[in-house]
Amino acid sequence: MNTEEPEIRKGLNGVVVDTTKVSKVNPETNSLLYRGYPVQELAEKCSFEEVAYLLWHGELPTDEQNEEFCKAERSQRALEPNVKKLIDLLPTSSHPMDVCRTAASAMGASHPKAEDSSREANLAKSISLFAAFPAVVAYDQRRRRGQDVVEPREDLDYSANFLYMTFGEEQPPAVVDAFKVSMVLYAEHSFNASTFTGRVITSTLADLHSAVTGAIGALKGPLHGGANEAVMDTFEEIGIRKEESKEDAAARAKSWMEDALAQKKKVMGFGHRVYKHGDSRVPTMKAALDAMVKHYERDEILGLYDGLQAAMQEAKDIQPNLDYPTGPAFHLMGFDTPTFTPLFVASRITGWTAHIMEQAEDNALIRPLSAYSGPDERHVGK
C-alpha cells in the first residue's frame, strides 16, 4: 500500500502541464515571445491583424496573405441580427462580461459548422469571432449609454474601426495606436487561467465556441482579467480631480496605498503568478499610457499612477502587471470601466483560439486527480 502523501500544488502553482508553441513567458528575463517574436517588437511594428495571423499560423503573413486575411476579417465585422436581439434582451444592469459570454455562446449555437472541430473549421470560427467581437463590445457600451449601433467601416483597420464603432467617430492616430498596442499586449500569455479553461474544455472534444465561452467566464474574475476594471475603481476611490497637479495626486495616492496595505488589502493591478520581478508587458503599455496622458492633457492620472506604484514598491516591492497601465489608458480613451475586461476578451480571443487549435491537434483529456479529505466511509442510518 502506498502510504506517502501525494504532493499537492494548490492552484497548480509551478506545475508544467503541457508544451506549447504559441508563446513563451520567461519570468527570469521578463520576456514574452509570441511564436518567437518579442511582444514589444510586435506592438511597435505590426498591426493587430498581423499578430492574430501569427498566433494562428505560426508565421507573420506575407503582404498577399495579410491582404487576404484583412479582407476576410473586414467582411465579417457586422453584428449578427440574432446576436443583437439577444444582447437587447439582457438588462443593462448585467455586467458586460456576461454579455460577452452570452454572445460567444450564441454565435456558436447559430454557426453552420457548430460541431465541426477540424483545423479548417476552427480557423474559420476563430476569424469570425475575432472579426465580430468588437461589434459586440462596442454595441454593449453604446446601448448602456442609450445609443444605437454604429455599423463597421471596411476602410478602417481593426483598431481604428473598433474605436469608430464604439464612439461613432474616427479617433486620432495617437489614440488608435495606443489602443492597438493594448490589443497586441493582451493577445496571448501561455497557460493563464482562461486559456487553460479553454484547453480543458477543448480536451473533452467540445467545440471551439464552448471553449471560448468558458474562457470568458474565467477571465471575468478580478484575480485575472477583471483586474483592469478594479484598477480604475481604485483610481475612482482615491478620486480623479482633473485640475489637480501631478504631485498632489501622487501624494493622495501614496497615502491611500499606505492605508490599504496597513489593512492588508490586495491592491489590484499589482503582482503576478509568474512574473515576480515585473511584468514584461508593462513598459510598452506604460509608454502607451504616457502618450494618452499627453494627448488628453491629463497629468493628474499619471500622478495617481506614480503615487500608488511608488508606495507599493516601498512597502512590499511588488511590481505592477499589465492591467495597471491599461486601466487608466482605456479610461482616457473614453471607455466605461465595465467595458475594460470585454476589451481584453476581444484581444485574447486570438490567443485562446490558437491554444484551442493546438490542444485539438494533439489532444489528451485533461483530468487531474484529487486527494480526498472528507469523512471516512459511513452509512445511512435507516
Half-sphere exposure of 37 (CA within 13 A, CB side): 21
Nearer to ligand COA, 85 or 265 (CB): 265
Report d(CA 198, CA 179) in Å as an integer. 25
Nearest approach in angstroms of CB 44 to ligand COA is 22
Catalytic residue among 189, 272, 331, 355: 272
Report d(CA 225, CA 203) in Å as an integer. 23
Provide the mask over 195-224, with x wherever binding to ligand COA is found by CB under 6 A and - wherever it is not.
----------------------------x-
Going from the C-alpha of 374 to that of each of 10, 370, 377, the distances in angstroms are 17, 12, 9
**First-last CA distance in the chain:** 33
Q: Which helix (H) or strand (E) holds 15?
A: none
Q: Which phi and psi angles does 32 have, rounded to 5°?
A: -135, 120
Report d(CA 63, CA 225) in Å as an integer. 33
- Out of 218, 249, 268, 345, point to the residue binding ligand COA (CB under 6 A): 268
Nearer to ligand COA, 87 or 227 (CB): 227
Pairing of strands 23-26, 37-38: unpaired
Q: Which phi and psi angles does 18 have, rounded to 5°?
A: -170, 175
Q: Name the one range near ligand COA by CB under 6 A: 241-249, 264-272, 280-288, 355-363.
A: 264-272
Q: Name the one range near ligand COA by CB under 6 A: 128-136, 269-277, 291-299, 341-349.
A: 269-277
Residue 306 among the catalytic residues: no
Longest dimension (CA), the chain: 75
Residue 209 among the catalytic residues: no
Q: Name the one range near ligand COA by CB under 6 A: 22-30, 104-112, 246-254, 267-275.
A: 267-275
Nearest approach in angstroms of CB 236 to ligand COA is 16
Catalytic residue among 207, 279, 323, 355: 323
The single-letter code of the amino acid at 287 is A
Residue 355 among the catalytic residues: no
- Asked whether position 321 contacts ligand COA by CB under 6 A, the answer is yes
Going from the C-alpha of 102 to that of each of 68, 92, 124, 212, the distances in angstroms are 30, 14, 20, 11
Report d(CA 322, CA 344) in Å as an integer. 11
Report d(CA 266, CA 335) in Å as an integer. 25
Nearest approach in angstroms of CB 233 to ligand COA is 12
Spatial contact of 356 and 122, defined as CB atoms under 8 Å apart: yes
Sequence length of the chain is 382
Catalytic residue among 224, 290, 299, 336: 224
Q: Which residue is closest to ligand COA by CB?
A: 271
Nearest approach in angstroms of CB 228 to ligand COA is 8
Report d(CA 121, CA 132) in Å as an integer. 16
Nearest approach in angstroms of CB 241 to ligand COA is 24
Q: Name the one range near ligand COA by CB under 6 A: 22-30, 61-69, 198-206, 268-276.
A: 268-276
Pairing of strands 31-34, 37-38: antiparallel
- Asked whether position 267 contacts ligand COA by CB under 6 A, the answer is yes
- Asked whether position 273 contacts ligand COA by CB under 6 A, the answer is yes
- Out of 295, 318, 334, 363, point to the residue binding ligand COA (CB under 6 A): 318
Nearer to ligand COA, 108 or 307 (CB): 307
- Asked whether position 25 contacts ligand COA by CB under 6 A, the answer is no
Nearer to ligand COA, 12 or 123 (CB): 12
The C-alpha cell at 148 is 444605437
Nearer to ligand COA, 74 or 348 (CB): 348
Binding site for ligand COA (CB under 6 A): 223, 227, 266-273, 316, 318, 321, 323
Catalytic positions, written as ranges:
224, 272, 323
